[in-house]
Structure 1
Amino acid sequence: MRQLLSYGLFGVIFFHLFFPHNISAQSVDTVYFSLDMTEPISEGWLKHGTEIVGIRGDQSPLNWGNTFEASDPDKDGIYEVAVPFNLHSDSLLVSFKIKVDGVNNPDDGWQKGRNHEAMIYQGVKNKVTLKWADEPPQAPTTITGQVEIFRDFQSDNLVPRDLYVYLPPGYKESNQRYPVLYMHDGQALFDASEIGQEWRVDEAAEELIRAGEIEPVIIVGIGNTQNRFDEYTPTEQVWRYELNRISSQERTTFPEAFAGNYISTEGDTIRFKTKHDTLLTMIPGGQFWQPLIPESEHAFFLAQAGITFTFDVKETEVNQVVASKPTMGGDGDLYGGFIIKKVKPFIDQNFRTRPEREFTSLGGSSLGGLITLYLGLEYQDTFSNLLVVSPSVWWDGQMIISKVNELPGATNQHIWLDMGTAEGEGAVESAKALNKALLNKGWSKENLNFVIEEGAAHNERAWAKRVPDMLRFLYSKN
């Protein structure tokens, strides 16, 4: 998670897992979600009190990384939660899904199907009633122009995925060769029927090319897979903290013996207590006790954060606890090799491309923005232009900034870098830090275009608004 507040790294991670809800004094309109979870309860995999049920979405205070928790005090299987949104205009379109945080759940606890959507209006009581089995209707295709799709494109080391190839106006009628822009998350670029939202790259390209504002270009969308998180991260992220007891141990029976206060080397304090034989935790900077799920006699799982607390027990003394998460990510180099060795040769062989470095670009958003900059710097002889959109700079202790700092100097590459002010606390600050690192290495305003978009959230609709300027940056005839 992003390092944002005055707490140490350990505390910051906890803070943003549980308390990302920073509601300002602007107009606040609340959506009352009613979530019918009777089906998974009857199926036996969802049990009251052991797992967290809630909403994830694309507009603050919702996000796709943390669950906004709902409650079911009546134990009737109907969970309720009120989510307050800050509206900067008369209405706001929100995408969302039900998420269950726990262990051994189908689809990792994600509601199946495409994302749901709701329009929120100022001054109106907004209510959404949703069953676990509900799926939104399939949207009609929104492809503009000519887009060819290659299903289940094979890889030697990674799972198959779809390729989406946009061809510019006049492609079939000419013998011209074209520059190529390769982009990650291909199913989100051209067709809203795929995931419910799109970047509208095809509409923007068609309009700008026909207006003569940009050179005609082939745009290749490389579809993501269920392994997106691993493929779009360059390094493995190890999350492990040791905390030492700073309070006296009151009991010697378990789990009561675990109760007390523990501190990390970064200065973050976490508290544990028991209630009715259940161990609960209070995270740094938090205001609420969170129940823990027993994994073994000495290990407990915090479902919403995916963290396991393992207590070090010596006879009956407990003086240390280890907080850990499974190692994540690290297949970025495999994914990069797939693009270089499989995707690009296939495109160059089957379409009239200009395969040289000066005509080849790479782009993506979020983790796709992270992997774009990483692979762009790794393959400087292949990519001359990079679209680094809303990048996940926070990954692995901001390793991408460290990679930039290790460069001997600026590369001969043009970079678009951006971030929206509504993408979460610290997002703009991290983008500014990356921009500063690039400038310190010798990039200038002529080859580094840094954009801070006021009010822009972390979703396809926000990126779609910036796509025309991205294409002008890469292919403007001027």
Structure 2
Amino acid sequence: MKYSRFLTFTHQLLAMACSIWPAGLAAQEQLAEGLSVIRDFPSHFVSSRDVYIRLPEGYQEGQRYPVLYMHDGQMLFREVDTWNRQTWAAGEVLRTLAMEGGAPEVILVGISNLPVERHANYFPEKPFMSLPKNVRDTLYSLKRGEQPLFGRAVNSDAYLKFLVYELKPFIDREYRTLPGQATTFIAGSSMGGLISMYAFFEYPEVFGGAACLSTHWIGSFEQNFEIPAAFLRYLQARRPLLQGRRLYFDHGTATLDAHYEPHQQDVDRIFGGQPGYLSRKFSGDAHTENAWSRRFHLPARFLLSVE
């Protein structure tokens, strides 16, 4: 496919240009057995941020592991790190899955968000730039409380370059990973669901699967039909890139998730029936880490299981 080959070629060129590792990488801080964090992980592309690394139980010489990259890393492991005292308990979920034989052991990399830049980092850039200028200007004028919803111009393409050309090479060099596409996955919720979807389609040679929970199809906190329509156009054009990979979506029906169902149904009409696609609805589930934690085992099993 010409589109995929062009992406691969240009990404390889960029990787060569960015081969010099940024200076100033901090030492890892051990938080618990198997869980550490690198504070202010440096980048040429985006602002530095904390990166959590959770190793599987029994991590040992002679064995290599798949890698799951997840956004909003400070919400994944410890209540003390979260703003709402809720957490995915992602390490416990993955450990239970492995013990039950539902999925292999996996290295989990949690990339923290920067609250002031989160919307700009996670809003897919190509769909955003396809919006009419007046819609983009309106989005940039929105506030969340006293702060702008977008703390800067949308830069999700740069955020993905950070993941692919800086963070992933570091993880593959420092840990016993299985670095290939078939064993590299990405996941997140809400805006993290959008950027996981975007990574899956922008880097088909890198990510073999993506899990997008409570995907924030409306793009802001006000309904605007042009935003989900832009996502649909983007996805329709990339429909063939699903082949041979796995893509998971879900949504609840309460709080913010109540807005997602019609847009998710439109996405399901694009991909439904294709091998490697799964979409789920969870009646009564709200837009919270507690809800995502309860069902995280389902997308994890879907992405990681060898059938």
Runs (4+) off by over 6 Å: 301-306, 325-328
Which structure 2 residues correspond to residues 434-473 of structure 1 after superposition, within 5 A?
A: 434-439=267-272, 444=274, 446-473=275-302
Which residue, 30, 48, 53 being the options, matches 1:160? Answer: 48
Query: Letter of the aligned partner of 1:428 in structure 2?
Result: E
Which residue, 111, 114, 118 being the options, matches 1:228? Answer: 118
- Matched residue, 2:304: 475
Which structure 2 residues correspond to residues 65-104 of structure 1 after superposition, within 5 A?
A: none
- Matched residue, 1:353: 177
Using the alignment, how far apart are the partners of 1:305 and 1:239 within structure 2? 24
Query: Letter of the aligned partner of 1:213 in structure 2?
Result: G
Q: Please report the TM-score for the alignment, with normalisation by the length of structure 2.
A: 0.76
Using the alignment, how far apart are the partners of 2:172 and 2:144 within structure 1? 45
3-state DSSP of counterpart to 2:51: strand
Query: Letter of the aligned partner of 2:213 in structure 1?
Result: V
Query: Letter of the aligned partner of 2:270 in structure 1?
Result: A
3-state DSSP of counterpart to 2:238: coil
Preserved contact between residue 118 and residue 150 of structure 2 (Cα < 8 Å): no
Is residue 2:67 matched to residue 1:177? no
Query: Letter of the aligned partner of 2:108 in structure 1?
Result: I
**Which of the two has greater strand per residue?**
1
Using the alignment, how far apart are the partners of 1:391 and 1:427 within structure 2? 7
Is residue 2:230 matched to residue 1:397? no
3-state DSSP of counterpart to 1:409: helix
Which whole-Å deviations, capped at 9, do the CAs of 1:405-427 have from their partners, x for residues lacking one? 12262522201110001143431
Residue 212 (structure 1) shift: 2.5
Structure with higher Rg: it is: 1
Q: How many pairs does the alignment contain? A: 254
- Matched residue, 1:420: 252
- Matched residue, 2:4: none
Using the alignment, how far apart are the partners of 1:190 and 1:302 within structure 2? 31
Query: Letter of the aligned partner of 1:430 in structure 2?
Result: H
Query: Letter of the aligned partner of 1:421 in structure 2?
Result: T
Preserved contact between residue 370 and residue 388 of structure 1 (Cα < 8 Å): yes
Using the alignment, how far apart are the partners of 1:302 and 1:468 within structure 2? 35
Which residue, 72, 75, 96 being the options, matches 1:207? Answer: 96
3-state DSSP of counterpart to 2:296: helix
- Matched residue, 1:432: 265
Which whole-Å deviations, capped at 9, do the CAs of 1:201-236 have from their partners, x for residues lacking one? 111111121232211111110111131110001234
- Matched residue, 1:89: none
Q: Percent identity?
A: 31
Question: What is the RMSD computed on CA atoms of the aligned residues?
Answer: 2.6
**Which of the two has greater helix per residue?**
2
Gaps of 5+ in 1: 1-142, 242-300, 307-324
Is residue 2:293 matched to residue 1:406? no
Question: Bigger relative contact order, structure 1 or 2, given CA contacts below 8 A and separation 6+?
Answer: 2
3-state DSSP of counterpart to 1:193: helix
Which structure 2 residues correspond to residues 1-20 of structure 1 after superposition, within 5 A?
A: none
Residue 153 and residue 302 in structure 1: after superposition, are their counterparts in 2 closer, same or farther (change >3 A)? closer
Residue 448 and residue 303 in structure 1: after superposition, are their counterparts in 2 closer, same or farther (change >3 A)? closer
Gaps of 5+ in 2: 1-30, 136-140, 220-225
Query: Letter of the aligned partner of 2:80 in structure 1?
Result: S
Using the alignment, how far apart are the partners of 1:429 and 1:457 within structure 2? 16
Residue 145 and residue 415 in structure 1: after superposition, are their counterparts in 2 closer, same or farther (change >3 A)? farther
Which structure 2 residues correspond to residues 128-143 of structure 1 after superposition, within 5 A?
A: none
Residue 327 (structure 1) shift: 10
Q: Please report the TM-score for the alignment, with normalisation by the length of structure 1.
A: 0.50
Preserved contact between residue 158 and residue 335 of structure 1 (Cα < 8 Å): yes
Query: Letter of the aligned partner of 2:169 in structure 1?
Result: P
Query: Letter of the aligned partner of 1:416 in structure 2?
Result: Y
